[in-house]
Amino acid sequence: GAGVSQSPSNKVTEKGKDVELRCDPISGHTALYWYRQSLGQGLEFLIYFQGNSAPDKSGLPSDRFSAERTGGSVSTLTIQRTQQEDSAVYLCATVLIQGWDTQYFGPGTRLTVL
Amino acid sequence: DQQVKQNSPSLSVQEGRISILNCDYTNSMFDYFLWYKKYPAEGPTFLISISSIKDKNEDGRFTVFLNKSAKHLSLHIVPSQPGDSAVYFCAASGQTGANNLFFGTGTRLTVIP
């Protein structure tokens, strides 16, 4: 497809289970971001990948969160031992050229932890 | 702690009138600001931006104003159209070496036909 895609679109899980969220970026986009939006909050930066550089993990809220980007393309965000406060919409965004104006967002994954 | 704030969660405007969405920030180091528009079940899409060296940027029906002394920016949409109904997020960046944007909580605009 032409845009950023994310899967699943919705995920309901039980507290304590692990979940994996996927982001398929726009082909050729070298930079990839993960954000989350909790209820009543703005988008919160989680992690940033740029090419082959070490990712910027400064936004990850705890060590239960991790992300990887294989081959500079698809990225997965993993949340271990999910907690109810992890419930949020998780958004992926990719950038072709450095510059916020060219940041394209996926539709997000709505995670609900029961 | 929210560094970017949108204090109005919702706004309703009659079609053809002006919509004014407001955003305040606390970090004086921010030097680049953006507005995003988000429809349901879609990701945010970039709308318009402004650098801190300017106080106004216009793109068609959309104009962003920046008041650095007040740490305030606003988005004006005129004339408003029903298709403008969406959630609008403001975002800010500029801290040296930062890789991320700081977003507000969004304002839901409803344009009434």
As a whole number of angstroms, the distance between CA B47 and CA B99 comes to: 20
Q: Pairing relation of β-strands B86-93 and A65-69?
A: unpaired
The answer, for B106 touching chain A at a CB cutoff of 8 Å, is yes
The answer, for B46 touching chain A at a CB cutoff of 8 Å, is yes
Beta-carbon neighbour count of residue A13 at 10 Å? 16
Q: What is the dihedral of CA B39, B44, B50, B55, to 10 degrees?
A: 40
Q: What is the pLDDT of residues A36-56, one digit of tens each?
A: 999 888 889 999 998 888 899
Of B34, B41, B43, the CB nearest to A105: B43
Contact criterion met (CB < 8 Å) for B43 and A107: yes
Contact criterion met (CB < 8 Å) for B44 and A107: no
Beta-carbon neighbour count of residue A82 at 10 Å? 21
The pLDDT assigned to A93 comes to 93
Contact criterion met (CB < 8 Å) for A100 and B32: yes
CA–CA min distance B80, chain A (Å): 23
Residues in chain A within 8 Å Cβ distance of B93: 100
The answer, for B41 touching chain A at a CB cutoff of 8 Å, is yes
Q: Could you list the pLDDT tens digit for every one of the 113 residues in chain B?
A: 789 999 999 999 999 999 999 999 999 989 899 999 999 888 999 999 999 999 999 999 999 999 999 999 999 999 999 999 999 999 998 754 466 788 999 999 999 99
Query: What number of C-beta contacts closer than 8 Å exist between A and B?
Result: 63
| Below-70 pLDDT ranges, chain A | 1, 97-100
CA–CA min distance A105, chain B (Å): 5
As a whole number of angstroms, the distance between CA A61 and CA A54 comes to: 18
Instruction: Give B58-64 contacts, CB < 8 A, sequence gap 24+.
Output: B62/B35, B64/B33, B64/B35
